[in-house]
Structure formats: structure tokens, C-alpha cells
Copies of this chain bind each other. A is one copy, B any other.
Amino acid sequence: MSRLDSFIARMQAQRDCLNALKPAIDNQPGPILEVGLGNGRTYDHLRDLFPNREIYVFERKVAAHPDCIPPDDRLFLGDASESIPRAAAKLGATAALIHTDLGTGDHAANVAMGRWLGPALDALAGKGGYVLANQPLEVARWQRLPEPAGVPKDRYFLYRVS
């Protein structure tokens, strides 16, 4: 399997998980958080799925397509290790959905980030909400859910916040 194959599979898993979560998120109050804007494709998908919801975006430095840049008051700029606590102070543990797609091709760095990222995001996660991540995150009050139908195992990681 080439990197192109695995990238396509990961993007499909991301999209299919988000689509599958829509009915549950529609019934869960609170904002939606997109951690890592990148080129803004997933943010655009979230806007399509949830047109009437507050969507907050976390990004070190915005480099997205001009059509996919959130309004200033929905953007937490800077390194995630600093912007996530800042957002938690503002929003509290209220999010209906947190989607995170941070990281690089450096596996060791991603694993190290996962250790602090889960607990940091937990300060934003609303009770009964969902966390969808491109990497495994370990938080005591999060329960891992099985992948939605049709999504291959361990491409994406879905949690329910209790």
C-alpha cells in the first residue's frame, strides 16, 4: 500500500466518520472544534455538515485556501499547547465534537504529542460529546467507540466523552 493509498483511506475514514456522527452531534449542544486547519478542506466539510453551529478552529499559522478561513473570533491562533488552554479558559468543557488532525510524518513526534493532546483537549470536551482523532488519545473519561460501518479499523479514532 503506497502513501497515496493510505492517505486516501485516511481521508475517506475521516469524512465517513464525520458524516456518521452528524445525527449524534445534531442532538448534542455545544460548539464544534477543528484542531489543525491545514488547507481548510475538513473545516469546509464541517461547515457543510453543520451550517448553523459555532465552529472554532485551532491553527499555528493560517495557510488555508482563502475560502476556508474562519472568522477571526472563531480562530485560536498559535501553538496548540498554548491555544488549547486559552480556548478552555474561554469556552470551558462544552464541545459537542472535537476533530483533531494534527501531526506530521514523524511517528515518534506524533506519539509524544498524543500524550499531552488528549488531556489538553479534555478541558474542552463536553459531557456526552465526541472526539474524532487521527491518532489514538488516552483520556480516562473518554470511551473509544467502534468505527462506523464501512470505515476500516484504526484509520481514525472515535471517542465518546462521559
Q: Which of B15, B47, B68, B105 is in CB contact (< 8 Å) with A8?
A: B15
Number of copies: 2
Q: Is A112 on the interface with B (CB-CB < 8 A)?
A: no
Interface of A is mostly: helix
- Residue pairs across A and B with Cβ atoms less than 8 A apart, 29 shown, are A2-B41, A2-B44, A2-B45, A2-B47, A2-B48, A2-B49, A3-B39, A3-B40, A3-B41, A3-B44, A3-B45, A3-B65, A3-B67, A3-B68, A4-B11, A4-B14, A4-B42, A4-B44, A4-B45, A5-B15, A5-B45, A7-B11, A7-B41, A8-B8, A8-B12, A8-B15, A65-B105, A66-B105, A67-B105
